[in-house]
Amino acid sequence: MTKYREILRLKSLGFSERNIALSVPCSRNTVSKVLKRAGEKSISWPLPDDTTDADLEKQLSTSVPSKSTKRMPDYAYIRKELLKNGVSKKLLWTEYMEDCRQAGEEPLMYSQFCYYIQQDENKRRATMHINRKPGEQVEVDWAGDTAKLVDPYTGEITEAYIFVGVMTYSQYAYVEAFADEKQQSWIDAHVHMYEYFGGVAKILVPDNCKTAVIHNKGWKDQRINTIYHELAEHYGTAIIPARVRKPKDKPNAEGSVGNISTWIVAALRNEQFFTIAELNTEIRKKLDEFNHRPFQKKEGSRYELFCDEELPLLTPLPATQYELAEWKQATVQFNYHISVDGMLYSIPYEYIGKKVDVRITGTIIEVFYNQNRIASHRRLYGRKGQYSTITEHMPREHQHYLEWNGDRFRKWAEGIGESTAKVIDSILRSKRVEQQSYRACMGLLKMADKYSPAKLEEACKTALSYTQSPSYKSVSNILAASKDSESASTDNDADTQRNNAHGITRGAGYYRRK
């Protein structure tokens, strides 16, 4: 803007138009026009203190602003259309020209069309510096540049992917290399990052990768990845993903990626690494140098600022590290167990036939039904087909069966008699695994209810007279034979009584009927 006040002030001091033009500075013609117009308007120095150059411009300007009759672009529509694949400014200008022709309006030329669009874009690019609070936020992302690994046997070169985590306030960084960008690597990176920081920030800002955010119907419909959400719950932090194509939502991570690519990845470009462990050892050395390097435009370093102002405000780490969990679905079998990787785990028998969700970690198996946990087991390893059974999951009659053992069978048999006790002891010792004989012991002792304890004792005594190791079947046969003998004897006695009463003796009534 022309300095009208200064021109009038210097003129009042007697300076020539040439010297005024050199002092302001501006062209001599401009000085001449201003002084001429001021004389016409009777404006001279001194001026009121509240009079500004803008006020003087309105009073001294001779130009009349022209109003353009040309139709201006619809900026909101253009911004939306330019986001679509294949849409260009040239195409939109062609459509704009057609709309103006049909409406009988004067259009802008293509250069003017692009100029106004650029001016609108510049207005929307205005940025604001946001002061972050210490310990409030950490930004995470995968670096675009990768490191290289060399196979020691084949010489094949593979890529290693670089994870970057940055504390927003202090710009204190964490860097680690991984063989891939899959879920396991993503989770491990966060666990190691929190261990490196020694605490947890309140907010976690990730990029829109599939290991962090699930997109269903466009970027407005976001859902946090289930496993990632579990990690946030475990560490007590909130996940606020950056918007799609909005790198300024996580400027520290974006900026640190460039620095890290220079000071860590590029610095190691001439070295050969054969394993991820070797690479991460060197990365850690470079990372410590990077964090301790002094700031260029302020005092201190990232490390000093982090330790002094952020670390005391971080949430303490949980007692245990987060462990990545795998989710599966299983059906409860009729033996009230589910199969997970060849091992069987018990579920309350009420859920037989139901489909349940299974959360699997390296140490724990958790089972959920309608989002409620109904069972938990320590994970089994080794030989397939192993069982992990909790007694409370079994039906009542099955629980009673588990209560039996060899000592209880022996004690029960002793209550019947000495011979029964000897037979039970022999049966228990006859099997390689004692539990295999429980069914025979139960069947033998139940014979006391069918025949009587005395007869069972007598049968066991008889069996022992034949062998020192009688079986359930031998005792059962003796009891059955004894019962048949008693039955036959009873039948003979009944027939004798019947013959004596009604055999050859005919009463008076018989002959009377005759």
- 232: which 2 tokens? 């946030």
Mean pLDDT of 97-123: 88
Is 69 contained in some domain? no
Is 512 contained in some domain? no
Reported confidence tier of residue 303, pLDDT bands at 50, 70, 90: very high
**Does one domain contain both 118 and 88?**
yes
What is the rounded distance in angstroms from the CA atom of residue 496 to the CA atom of residue 498? 5
Is 67 contained in some domain? no
Helix, strand or coil for residue 23?
Answer: helix
**Does one domain contain both 384 and 258?**
no
- Kindly report whether the peptide bond that precedes residue 152 is cis, defined as omega within 30 degrees of 0: no
pLDDT (0 to 100) of residue 368: 93
What is the rounded distance in angstroms from the CA atom of residue 89 to the CA atom of residue 139? 35
What is the rounded distance in angstroms from the CA atom of residue 239 to the CA atom of residue 223? 11
What 8-state DSSP symbol labels residue 351? G
Tell me the C-alpha to C-alpha distance, in Å, between residue 498 and each of 428, 493, 509. Answer: 49, 9, 19
Mean pLDDT score across all residues of the chain: 82
pTM for the model: 0.50
**Does one domain contain both 116 and 178?**
no
pLDDT at 436 over 50: yes
Mean pLDDT of 339-363: 90
Reported confidence tier of residue 221, pLDDT bands at 50, 70, 90: low
What is the rounded distance in angstroms from the CA atom of residue 134 to the CA atom of residue 305? 9
Domain containing 84 equals: 75-124
Reported confidence tier of residue 174, pLDDT bands at 50, 70, 90: very high
What is the rounded distance in angstroms from the CA atom of residue 238 to the CA atom of residue 145? 28
**Sign of the torsion angle spanned by Cα atoms 220, 226, 227, 231:** positive
**Does one domain contain both 269 and 377?**
no
Reported confidence tier of residue 351, pLDDT bands at 50, 70, 90: very high
By CB atoms closer than 10 A (0-12, 13-18, 19+), residue 307 is middle
Are 276 and 266 in contact by the 8 Å Cβ rule? The answer is no
Task: Single out the residue in 396, 425, 445 at which a domain terminates.
Answer: 396
Please give the distance of CA 106 from its chain centroid, rounded to a whole number: 57
Is 108 contained in some domain? yes
2-6, 84-88, 129-133, 504-508 — which is least confidently predicted? 504-508
**Does one domain contain both 56 and 101?**
no
Specify the number of domains making up the chain: 5
pLDDT (0 to 100) of residue 216: 45
Reported confidence tier of residue 514, pLDDT bands at 50, 70, 90: very low
Top-ranked range on mean pLDDT: pick from 248-257, 434-443, 487-496, 505-514: 434-443
**Does one domain contain both 178 and 299?**
yes
The CA R_g of the chain, rounded to the nearest whole Å, is: 48
pLDDT (0 to 100) of residue 194: 94
Is 91 contained in some domain? yes
**Does one domain contain both 175 and 274?**
yes
Mean pLDDT of 306-327: 88
Q: In one letter, which amino acid is 244? A: V
pLDDT (0 to 100) of residue 385: 84
Reported confidence tier of residue 193, pLDDT bands at 50, 70, 90: very high
Share of the chain above pLDDT 90, in %: 23
**Does one domain contain both 29 and 88?**
no
Mean pLDDT of 275-297: 89
Is 258 contained in some domain? yes
Top-ranked range on mean pLDDT: pick from 42-56, 116-130, 390-404, 466-480: 466-480
What is the rounded distance in angstroms from the CA atom of residue 367 to the CA atom of residue 345? 9
Mean pLDDT of 154-179: 89
Phi, psi (deg, nearest 5) at residue 67: -95, 120
Task: Single out the residue in 313, 346, 363 at which a domain terminates.
Answer: 313
**Does one domain contain both 191 and 302?**
yes
Burial 346-369 (b: 16+ CB within 10 A, else e): bbbbebeeeebebbbeeeebbbeb
Mean pLDDT of 206-219: 67
Short-list 444, 452, 442, CA closest to 400: 442
pLDDT at 197 over 50: yes
- 305: which 2 tokens? 């600022």
**Does one domain contain both 26 and 168?**
no
Short-list 2, 14, 9, CA closest to 44: 9
- Residue scoring higher pLDDT (93 or 323): 93
pLDDT (0 to 100) of residue 218: 47
**Does one domain contain both 144 and 93?**
no
Is 335 contained in some domain? yes
Reported confidence tier of residue 132, pLDDT bands at 50, 70, 90: low
What 8-state DSSP symbol labels residue 63? -
**Does one domain contain both 355 and 483?**
no
Are 232 and 225 in contact by the 8 Å Cβ rule? The answer is no
- The CATH number covering residue 254 comes to 3.30.420.10
Mean pLDDT of 391-400: 77
pLDDT (0 to 100) of residue 265: 76
pLDDT in tens, 249-284: 445 545 556 677 677 777 777 788 899 999 999 989
Phi, psi (deg, nearest 5) at residue 436: -70, -20
What is the rounded distance in angstroms from the CA atom of residue 105 to the CA atom of residue 108? 10
Task: Single out the residue in 260, 279, 313 at which a domain terminates.
Answer: 313
Tell me the C-alpha to C-alpha distance, in Å, between residue 337 and each of 274, 345, 463. Answer: 45, 5, 42
Is 70 contained in some domain? no
